[in-house]
Amino acid sequence: MSRKASMSESKLIAKIEKWLPEAKPTPASHFAEGYEGIWFRGSEDVAWCGETVDDVAIFSPYGEFGDIVHPKLSEILMGAGWYPEPYDAGTLMAFKEW
């Protein structure tokens, strides 16, 4: 059983910038030296979620609508072989699945 290869950090950042620019994806090394992954500088911002739902936070430690990560961002990450992970109550990161 083979696994799908993870999308590269730079390609994933470009894709997120196109489809959910409010997330402000940045290499995690800009957050802390030596970190690998993606840091979402806009994790406390909101973005449109759909016609039936108002704007939703990019990251909410309190789980708006049952999710802690904006549904579009979650879809993009999972489809690229990455996963979101809270760093703290106001900071969201993403890492490649192994």
**Each residue's pLDDT tens digit, 6-44:** 899 999 999 999 999 999 999 999 999 988 999 999 877
State percent of the chain over pLDDT 90.
50
pTM (2 d.p.): 0.83
Which amino acid, residue 32? A
- Give me the mean pLDDT over the 82-93 stretch: 90
Spatial strand order of the sheet with 91-96 comes to 25-27, 38-40, 91-96, 82-88
Q: Taking 50 as the threshold, does the pLDDT of residue 2 lie above it?
A: no
Domain boundaries, the chain: 9-96
Q: Is the pLDDT higher at 8 or at 49?
A: 8
**Residues whose CB falls within 8 Å of the CB of residue 37, separated by 6 or more in sequence, listed in order:** 9, 27, 28, 93, 94, 95, 96
Q: Taking 90 as the threshold, does the pLDDT of residue 52 lie above it?
A: no
- pLDDT for residue 20: 93
